[in-house]
Structure 1
Amino acid sequence: MALKAYKPTSPARRGLILVDRSQLYKGKPVKSLTKGKTKTGGRNNKGHVTSRGIGGGHKQKYRLVDFKRRKWDVEGTIERIEYDPNRSAYIALISYPDGEQAYIIAPQRVAPGDKIVAGEKVDVKPGNAMLIGQMPIGTIVHNIELKPGKGAQIARAAGTYCQVVGRDKGMVIVRMNSGEQRYIRSDCMATVGAVSNPDNSNTTLAKAGRNRWRGKRPLTRGVAKNPVDHPHGGGEGRTSGGRHPVTPWGKPTKGARTRKNKATDKFIIRSRHAKKKR
């Protein structure tokens, strides 16, 4: 789907670039596949703000998306492609011969009427899901599980994908978009193809109000505050905030690495930071 650039008929339209969604289904989602969604405003159970910058936004229904794809060897038909306010990717409604329906993350290059299937080993075509250990080397995949049966956790956002680059010790080597290479267990499920809506990253919102519609509140820069309010605050005239940017509570930020001793570190062959260390 293409991008739409709007004419500057008002200040809110100047510079506005959005994805053209005219091809998507215009009705409501399937009621049995939705749940109510409550907003927190960034507050915890005591009413204290624990996540800044959250509040307002349009009311949303949560769509129940099938990330497991464990309905094996049953061919489904893509009924329609829908917009999902809870994620950047589009979702596809699948109908099975037994009457069951399910939402999945819509891959690129699929259309209403296409047939898809999940199984231990199926044809390598967009939308089909199978064990990643059964996929040919070089296959572009998304919706990758980290634990068998847990559901997809990797490559779910708009336009993302990974590539199967090898096999070793009963594991599959996968290369991420970031350049990281890691082992994935052979009995984890993955879906063939890249995620839909690749133009999502090229949009321009053009006004602050569009972020408010998304539930994002404005945040004041630390350098614009007083010393009592932020470590970057104060100073004569305009200052940059010092050499080491920190949060209001003094923790390093803006690129400081915080990942420590994760159980899955042993599966990373090449870090995404490897090229930065040279």
Structure 2
Amino acid sequence: MGRVIRSQRKGPGSVFKAHTKNRKGAAKLRAFDFAERHGYIKGVIRDIIHDPGRGAPLAKVVFRDPYRYKMRTETFIAAEGMYTGQFVYCGKKATLQVGNIMPVGTMPEGTIVCCLEDNTGNRGRIA
């Protein structure tokens, strides 16, 4: 049996550490429900936060639940130009503004988009 020499003990480099401890949560769009299919729903951006494992900031948006008497908090990827206190509209009949969420078919050609769904209902995968 040979001996493991010092350079072999040191190894090729340090052990990779993924910094996943302080993540703020998954960034997802609202679930596509009746309110979004036939009209729009209004939310307010409460906070814009930094997520350690992500390059883009996250926006905490509070919506009033259309079916129950409670508030729902969603975490979106913040687009450039969003700010705390801004109203965000989600749905088919939402107006075209920075931060609003609407179907691609209702947007005019040439609109800059972010956070697309590649499959219907997967809540935004493509940045």
Regarding TM over 0.5, the answer is yes
Residue equivalent to 2:4:
none
Q: Of the candidates 3, 23, 30, which is equivalent to residue 61 of structure 1?
A: 23
Residue correspondence of structure 1 range 14-53 to structure 2 within 5 A? none
Q: Of the candidates 55, 59, 63, which is equivalent to residue 92 of structure 1?
A: 59
Residue equivalent to 1:151:
123
- Tell me how large the CA RMSD over aligned residues is: 2.2
Q: Of the candidates 87, 90, 104, which is equivalent to residue 76 of structure 2?
A: 104
**Higher Rg of the two aligned structures:** 1
User: 1:57: Cα distance to partner?
Assistant: 4.4
For the structure 1 residues 104 and 57, does the alpha-carbon distance in structure 2 shift closer, same or farther, using more than 3 Å as the test?
A: closer
Q: For residue 100 of structure 1, give the secondary structure of its aligned residue in structure 2.
A: strand
- Residue deviations 1:168-196, cap 9 Å, x none? xxxxxxxxxxxxxxxxxxxxxxxxxxxxx
Q: Of the candidates 114, 117, 122, which is equivalent to residue 142 of structure 1?
A: 114
Residue equivalent to 1:78:
45
What is the rounded CA distance, in whole Å, between the counterparts of 1:69 and 1:90 in structure 2? 21
User: 1:62: Cα distance to partner?
Assistant: 4.6
- Checking the alignment, whether the CA contact within 8 Å between 2:47 and 2:59 is kept in structure 1 is yes
In structure 1, list runs of 5 or more residues that go unmatched. 1-51, 156-278
What is the rounded CA distance, in whole Å, between the counterparts of 2:71 and 2:18 in structure 1? 38
- Checking the alignment, whether the CA contact within 8 Å between 1:79 and 1:113 is kept in structure 2 is yes
For the structure 1 residues 117 and 56, does the alpha-carbon distance in structure 2 shift closer, same or farther, using more than 3 Å as the test?
A: closer
Q: Of the candidates 95, 103, 107, which is equivalent to residue 123 of structure 1?
A: 95
What is the rounded CA distance, in whole Å, between the counterparts of 1:53 and 1:145 in structure 2? 35
User: 1:60: Cα distance to partner?
Assistant: 2.5
- Checking the alignment, whether the CA contact within 8 Å between 2:117 and 2:123 is kept in structure 1 is yes
Count matched residues: 104
What is the rounded CA distance, in whole Å, between the counterparts of 2:102 and 2:47 in structure 1? 22
- Residue deviations 1:46-71, cap 9 Å, x none? xxxxxx96326473235132235525
Q: For residue 123 of structure 1, give the secondary structure of its aligned residue in structure 2.
A: coil
User: 1:122: Cα distance to partner?
Assistant: 1.4
The structure with higher relative contact order (CA 8 Å, sep 6+) is 2
For the structure 1 residues 144 and 53, does the alpha-carbon distance in structure 2 shift closer, same or farther, using more than 3 Å as the test?
A: farther
User: 1:149: Cα distance to partner?
Assistant: 1.0
Q: What is the TM-score of this pair, normalised by structure 1?
A: 0.34
For the structure 1 residues 68 and 55, does the alpha-carbon distance in structure 2 shift closer, same or farther, using more than 3 Å as the test?
A: same
Q: Percent identity?
A: 27
Q: What is the TM-score of this pair, normalised by structure 2?
A: 0.71
Structure 1 runs of 4+ off > 6 angstroms?
none
For the structure 1 residues 113 and 146, does the alpha-carbon distance in structure 2 shift closer, same or farther, using more than 3 Å as the test?
A: same
